[in-house]
């Protein structure tokens, strides 16, 4: 099965990094490929970044379908371009944000999202409301490390663990969801960190890994988005795209 990860960034290093980070989530018969943007931001940390990334993301999703890819993952918790892309293609387009929140609500009554910056909190609250799980969102916390500094794994793990502990103890979280796909691969080490502090009963969700599993499941079942919800746009003149 072929899955394409669209990384909504122009940062070239993310190509090899993305491939390396997503690979452990894929089955032996799943072939992952990665696409970056030609135009757009280095990372997504604001609504503006999101808006200028979206046209490129949708373009990459359309290309993926033409390339014979069976499902696409948009590598950002803000799910930029998710709904627009679904209008333009028939293959499943998976948003790690939406997917992780649904699965979190299957596994626990209340969950907290630990994201990069405090400024991203309203986005998660709106996302939860959009998909109907607002009352399940215990809190949104941030490590306050910019996306482009997430390579400092030690610092990221330390603050992720700290914020996860606080979410459980102070906010009543029963489950932790990482709030940035750049935190991929850190679920085990954060879970161990929680356990070291006596919190043994809280699952930790790594949204991009989960997105791979859900993409595989949808492709296996031949399930695609409803074209009643995501009909193709009406034919008309559109300049520049």
Calculate the CA dihedral of residues 3, 19, 64, 81 and round it to 10 degrees: 100
Residue 37 or 71: which CB sits closer to other proteins?
A: 71
Tokens 């997504």 belong to residue:
44
Residue 59 or 185: which CB sits closer to other proteins?
A: 185
Among 5, 22, 50, 136, interactor with other proteins by CB under 8 A: 136
> Collapsing DSSP states into helix, strand and coil, what is residue 29?
coil
Report in angstroms how near the CB of residue 149 gets to other proteins at its nearest: 26
Q: Which two tokens stand for residue 191?
A: 């879970």
Using the 8-state DSSP alphabet, how is residue 93 labeled? E
Among 54, 175, 177, 180, interactor with other proteins by CB under 8 A: 175
Q: Is 192 in the site for other proteins (CB under 8 A)?
A: no
212-231 residues in contact with other proteins (CB under 8 A) are 213-214, 216-217, 220-221, 223-231
Residue 229 or 234: which CB sits closer to other proteins?
A: 229
Find how far residue 159's CA is from the centre of its chain: 20
Q: Is 141 in the site for other proteins (CB under 8 A)?
A: no
Q: Is 170 in the site for other proteins (CB under 8 A)?
A: no
Q: How many residues bind other proteins (CB under 8 A)?
A: 45
Q: Is 23 in the site for other proteins (CB under 8 A)?
A: no
What whole-number distance in Å separates Cα of residue 46 and Cα of residue 132?
23
Among 102, 121, 125, 157, interactor with other proteins by CB under 8 A: 102
Pattern 24-53, binding to other proteins, x per CB under 8 A?
-x-x--------------------------
What whole-number distance in Å separates Cα of residue 87 and Cα of residue 236?
15
What whole-number distance in Å separates Cα of residue 117 and Cα of residue 186?
18
Residue 228 or 236: which CB sits closer to other proteins?
A: 228
> 120-148 b/e with 16+ CB inside 10 Å = b?
bbebbeebbeebebeebbbbbbbbebebe
Using the 8-state DSSP alphabet, how is residue 84 labeled? H
What whole-number distance in Å separates Cα of residue 233 and Cα of residue 241?
13
Residues that bind other proteins (CB under 8 A): 25, 27, 98-99, 102-103, 105-110, 131-136, 168, 173-175, 200-203, 205-206, 209-210, 213-214, 216-217, 220-221, 223-231
């Amino acid at each position: 099965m072929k899955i394409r990860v669209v990384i909504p960034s122009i940062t070239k290093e993310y190509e090899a990094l993305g491939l390396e980070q997503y690979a452990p989530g894929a089955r032996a018969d799943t072939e992952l490929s990665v696409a970056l943007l030609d135009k757009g931001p280095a990372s997504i940390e604001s609504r503006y970044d999101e808006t200028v990334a979206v046209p490129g993301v949708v373009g990459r999703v359309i290309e993926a379908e033409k390339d014979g890819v069976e499902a696409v993952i948009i590598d950002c918790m803000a799910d930029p371009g998710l709904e627009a892309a679904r209008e333009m293609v028939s293959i499943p387009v998976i948003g790690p944000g939406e997917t992780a929140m649904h699965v979190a609500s299957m596994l626990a009554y209340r969950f907290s999202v630990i994201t990069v910056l405090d400024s991203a909190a309203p986005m998660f609250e709106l996302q939860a409301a959009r998909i109907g799980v607002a009352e399940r969102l215990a809190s949104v916390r941030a490590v306050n490390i910019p996306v482009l500094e997430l390579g400092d794994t030690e610092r990221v793990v330390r603050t992720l663990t700290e914020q996860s502990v606080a979410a459980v103890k102070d906010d009543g979280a029963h489950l932790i969801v990482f709030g940035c796909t750049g935190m991929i691969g850190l679920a085990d080490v954060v879970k161990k960190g929680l356990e070291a502090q006596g919190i043994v009963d809280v699952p930790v969700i790594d949204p991009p890994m989960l997105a791979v599993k859900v993409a595989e499941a949808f492709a296996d079942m031949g399930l695609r988005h409803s074209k009643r919800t995501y009909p193709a746009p009406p034919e008309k003149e559109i300049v520049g795209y």
